[in-house]
């Protein structure tokens, strides 16, 4: 439309560039997944194959977009962290959001038969998304901690709820039984009534999944027999506690590679980090 009388319509476009030098988190969330899970007979409260499918879709996003440095997923939700120095699409929110959501959605459809070979896809799964900027590494980690705490709380409740329903209660009775109960009460209910130790449930249920490029050491030999060691970055799926400092201390390169030169030259002064009341085992 260059140099035509119609070019004026470009004036209606809005600038949606995200703030520079901030961490970008794109959260992808399943749309209408309660109905979708029912239509495809997902196991309650967690369907392992459905979680594996979500994780593989997250890997596809990480493989395709180099600016994505970390992913966290639980249930039908995934958060993708883009490095703060990202300049992809000039940081236009609409472009970044549509890229991640469309890539994730397409991967879900294409990979379906790998994880559900005996279940026909009744209709396409759809996902919505949002893009949010976080100005500091500390706040970014608090966001990720919030999602993992939410994973624990929801999984503990859902595990209790569906066990009560399986035992013969109606959904209303199960809701009334759990209403206002603390975490300790739920743990005791699972152990005393169903002989389930909550802490022994698979970590993928209790902690969610993380996908990132892990630094691994590979050992090889030259033609002369000399042993050589090389560091490689390999995409992995793990289920770790990302609330406490241990994971980040062991993998400093995940976020440090995304820091700007200015930050490296002038690191922020240390500040007391608020302690979350929940610590995942």
**Of 8-12, 48-52, 132-136, 139-143, minimum mean pLDDT range:** 8-12
- The domain spans of the chain are 16-207
CA distances from 81 to 72, 86, 131, 138, 254 (A): 9, 10, 10, 13, 10
CATH number of this structure's domain 16-207: 3.30.70.3000
Q: Does residue 263 have a pLDDT over 70?
A: no
Q: Does residue 269 have a pLDDT over 80?
A: no
- Which of the two residues, 129 and 269, has the higher pLDDT score? 129
Residues 128-167: tens digit of each pLDDT = 999 999 999 999 999 999 999 999 999 999 999 999 999 9
The size of the chain, in residues, is 281
Choose from 220-234, 236-250, 257-271 the range with maximum mean pLDDT: 236-250
pLDDT at 276: 40
List the one residue out of 146, 26, 131, 132 whose CA is nearest residue 79: 26
pLDDT at 243: 98
pLDDT at 3: 76
Say what the pTM is: 0.87
Residues 57-106: tens digit of each pLDDT = 999 999 999 999 999 999 999 999 999 999 999 999 999 999 999 999 99
């Amino acid at each position: 439309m260059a140099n035509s009388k119609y070019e004026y319509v470009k004036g209606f476009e809005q600038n949606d560039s995200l703030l520079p030098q901030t961490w970008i988190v794109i959260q992808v969330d399943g749309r209408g997944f309660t109905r979708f899970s029912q239509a495809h007979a997902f196991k309650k409260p967690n369907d392992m194959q459905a979680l594996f499918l979500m994780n593989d879709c997250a890997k596809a996003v990480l493989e395709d977009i180099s600016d994505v440095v970390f992913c966290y997923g639980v249930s039908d939700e995934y958060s993708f962290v883009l490095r703060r120095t990202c300049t992809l699409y000039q940081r236009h929110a609409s472009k970044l959001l549509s890229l991640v959501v469309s890539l994730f959605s397409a991967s879900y459809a294409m990979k379906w038969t790998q994880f559900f070979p005996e279940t026909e896809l009744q209709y396409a799964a759809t996902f919505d998304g949002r893009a949010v900027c976080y100005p500091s590494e500390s706040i970014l980690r608090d966001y990720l901690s919030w999602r993992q705490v939410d994973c624990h709380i929801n999984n503990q409740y859902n595990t209790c709820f569906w066990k009560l329903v399986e035992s013969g209660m109606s959904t209303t009775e199960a809701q009334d039984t759990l209403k206002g109960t603390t975490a300790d009460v739920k743990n005791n209910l699972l152990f005393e009534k169903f002989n389930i130790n909550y802490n022994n449930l698979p970590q993928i249920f209790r902690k969610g999944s993380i996908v990132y490029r892990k630094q691994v050491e590979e050992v090889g030999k030259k033609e002369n027999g000399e042993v050589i060691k090389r560091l490689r970055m390999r995409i992995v799926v793990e289920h770790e506690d990302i609330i406490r400092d241990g994971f980040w201390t062991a993998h400093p390169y995940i976020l440090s590679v995304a820091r700007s030169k200015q930050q490296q030259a002038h690191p922020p002064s240390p500040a007391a980090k608020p302690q979350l009341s929940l610590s995942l085992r």
